[in-house]
Amino acid sequence: MSNVPQMHVEELKRRIDAKSDIVVLDVREPDEYKSGNIGGQLIPLNDLPRRISELDPSKETVVHCRGGGRSSKAVEFLQAQGFQNVKNLAGGILTWAEKIDPNLKGKV
């Protein structure tokens, strides 16, 4: 995995709880999202190039998938499109389920 900027789940939880102006982007597939999600905007990785206009490059964006692989690719893609404040959620929703929301364990 390349050197994409990361945000840890604890930091994202703090930012969400503080109602920060932050976009959470979920790049998993719709069936994965239905099984369990953290309320992010769903744009599957393969749809991202044609749906990029739904995102605001001026907003801080945190991208996640299940474990971090797809979201890292999404961060690299967004950076190449001029997004400067975009980070990968370290460990993805699996780490979120482990450290933040145990109710998601086994669903994601």
Q: What does the H/E/C string look like for 12-51?
A: HHHHHHCCCCEEEEECCCHHHHHHCCCCCEECCHHHHHHH
Per-residue pLDDT tens digits for 39-53: 999 999 999 999 999
Check 27, 65, 75, 86 and give the catalytic one. Answer: 65
Helix-helix angle 92-99:9-17, to 10 degrees = 70
Q: Can you give the pTM of this predicted structure?
A: 0.95
Give residue 2's pLDDT band: very low, low, confident or very high (50, 70, 90). Answer: low
Is 3 a residue whose pLDDT tops 90? Answer: no
Instruction: Establish whether 65 is a catalytic residue.
Output: yes
Per-residue pLDDT tens digits for 75-87: 999 999 999 999 9
Architecture of the domain defined by 6-104? 3-Layer(aba) Sandwich (3.40)
Phi/psi region, residue 51 (left: phi>0; alpha: psi -120 to 50; beta: rest), is alpha
Q: What is the pLDDT of residue 86?
A: 98
